[in-house]
């Protein structure tokens, strides 16, 4: 296994991947809160951590990927109320949409996709441990975490404790010992139709404690990689880390890995801003392959601009790989292939640099295209498989229909007669039927658009 380093938000530096158990890696990635359909920005962590799992498996690790679903949350109550439906019904419907929408990415499913509502026993147990250690306190059915009880609080997000606003507004302020404290458990309020009985009263969990309990329940404490969007670093991940540290006396995860945000119109894509593009709409308009290629084109830690130009560029890259795939032979990979493959995997091993890895792919394609003979494509397929794009090398099942072939033959005749206006007309007619005609030494080839 080659050494692998990933950027750890806590240390602010690249950290070596050091499994607790040799050859085994656990990844927990924060998933969506299911109060409506997910947008393309919500899909970025799904893609990043699905592809990271594929890479680690290629390197010989047995990987367990956990991506949760938050199905108990204030946002779900608020969204269900004006619809006149139970909050759990809305959560169930949106969860089903989330599964279907992300299935469209063709990257498989995480090994576990826990629902917060299924882990209430674990949540109650962790809150109980925090109460026993005096890191939390119960008041009027609520339970709050004592932020100042954790001397390491703020070290993940690199913030001064006095500058931290939990984002809870005035909720529970009169019951808190300190405005910095945050809710672990919330007493049931009027209009909240999902609740559980606990030793401190009937209610439901706070957002942060849900992920701590689900991660611990499926991966234990001290697992290798905790992932999510960088918008979750504070307060969500800071609070997750603090809860486990104080409740279990150990760190929840070794590496905290954060992906950047998608931007649309120069701003972070967000439902609150209103600049969103739903994942199924992007998949329908641009296709699954171009969508995955788009995500691979940006380093996971940086922002990624979504617009017509970036999507068109991704589609063009897909076409280049497909065209190269049509020219591949069945023999072994050429000698020049091995260094490019090594460059590809070395890029992924150094902070999962997919743009640099893609550059090696297109160096491979460029070199293959300049070869006078067909070359074996096993190395290219191996690289693309890690990125979820090996299907680009699969031959078309159906060839062009007879109508398209007839037009292409007419175009050959028109070109031979130097009737270039007719040749262009026939080219456009072929394009209208969903095919691209290319002139090659043997005459022409037809490629599905």
First to last CA, the chain: 40
CB 244 within 8 A of CB 213: no
The beta-carbon contacts of 129-136 under 8 Å, at least 24 apart in sequence, are 129/247, 129/248, 130/184, 130/243, 130/246, 130/247, 133/246, 133/247, 135/246, 135/247, 136/184
- Among residues 445, 337, 316, 308, the alpha carbon closest in space to that of 392 is found at 316
Q: How far apart are CA 20 and CA 308, in angstroms?
A: 44
Token pair, residue 149, equals 């009880």
75 annotated as ligand-binding = no
Q: For the sheet containing 267-268, what is the strand order?
A: 267-268, 262-264, 304-305
What phi and psi, each to the nearest 5 degrees, are found at residue 259? -90, 150
DSSP 303-333: -EE-SHHHHHHHHHHHHHHHHHHTT-BSSPP
240 annotated as ligand-binding = yes
132 annotated as ligand-binding = no
DSSP 8-state code for residue 73: S
246 annotated as ligand-binding = no
Q: How far apart are CA 102 and CA 15, in angstroms?
A: 30
Token pair, residue 399, equals 């060839």
Placement of tokens 């199924």 in the chain: 280
Instruction: Estimate to the nearest angstrom the gap between the alpha carbon of 223 and the chain centroid.
Output: 19
CB 87 within 8 A of CB 50: no
Token pair, residue 118, equals 């299924």
Residue 14 exposure: Cα atoms within 13 Å on the Cβ side = 10
Instruction: Determine the 3-state secondary structure of 15 from DSSP.
Output: strand
Instruction: Determine the 3-state secondary structure of 268 from DSSP.
Output: strand
Residues tagged in the binding site annotation: 30, 211, 236, 240, 271
Residues tagged in the binding site annotation for ATP: 271
Residues tagged in the binding site annotation for Zn(2+): 30, 211, 236, 240
């Amino acid at each position: 296994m080659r050494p692998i380093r990933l950027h750890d938000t806590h240390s602010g530096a690249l950290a070596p991947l050091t499994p607790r158990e040799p050859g085994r890696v656990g990844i927990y990635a924060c998933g969506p809160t299911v109060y409506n359909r997910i947008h393309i920005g919500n899909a970025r962590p799904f893609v990043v951590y699905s592809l990271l799992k594929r890479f680690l498996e290629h390197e010989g690790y047995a990987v367990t990927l956990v991506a949760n679903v938050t199905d108990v949350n204030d946002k779900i109550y608020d969204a269900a109320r004006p619809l006149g439906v139970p909050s759990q019904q809305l959560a169930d419907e949106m969860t089903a949409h989330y599964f279907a929408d992300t299935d469209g990415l063709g990257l498989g499913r995480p090994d576990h996709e826990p629902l917060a509502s299924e882990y209430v026993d674990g949540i109650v147990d962790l809150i109980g441990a925090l109460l026993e250690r005096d890191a939390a306190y119960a008041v009027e059915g609520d339970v709050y975490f004592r932020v100042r009880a954790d001397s390491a609080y703020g070290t993940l997000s690199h913030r001064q404790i006095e500058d931290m606003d939990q984002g809870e507004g005035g909720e529970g302020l009169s019951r808190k010992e300190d405005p910095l404290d945050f809710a672990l458990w919330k007493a049931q309020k009027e209009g909240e139709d999902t609740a559980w009985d606990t030793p401190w009263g009937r209610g439901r969990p706070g957002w942060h404690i849900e992920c701590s309990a689900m991660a611990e329940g499926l991966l234990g404490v001290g697992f290798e990689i905790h992932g999510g969007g960088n918008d979750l670093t504070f307060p969500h991940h800071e609070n997750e880390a603090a809860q486990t540290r104080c409740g279990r006396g150990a760190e929840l995860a070794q590496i905290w890995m954060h992906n950047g945000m998608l931007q649309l119109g120069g701003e972070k894509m967000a439902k609150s801003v209103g600049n969103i593009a739903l994942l199924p709409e992007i998949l329908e308009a641009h296709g699954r392959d171009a969508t995955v290629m788009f995500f691979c084109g940006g380093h996971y830690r940086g922002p990624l601009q979504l617009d017509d130009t970036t999507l068109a560029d991704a589609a063009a890259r897909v076409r280049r790989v497909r065209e190269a795939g049509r020219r591949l032979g069945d023999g072994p990979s050429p000698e020049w292939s091995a260094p490019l493959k090594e460059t590809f995997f070395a890029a992924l091993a150094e902070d999962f640099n997919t743009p640099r890895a893609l550059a090696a792919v297109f160096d491979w394609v460029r070199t293959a295209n300049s070869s006078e003979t067909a070359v074996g494509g096993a190395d290219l397929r191996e690289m693309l498989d890690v990125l979820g794009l090996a299907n680009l090398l699969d031959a078309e099942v159906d060839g062009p229909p007879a109508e398209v072939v007839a037009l292409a033959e007419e175009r050959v005749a028109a070109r031979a007669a130097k009737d270039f206006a007719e040749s262009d007309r026939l080219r456009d007619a072929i394009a209208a039927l969903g095919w691209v005609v290319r002139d090659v030494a043997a005459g022409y080839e037809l490629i599905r658009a």
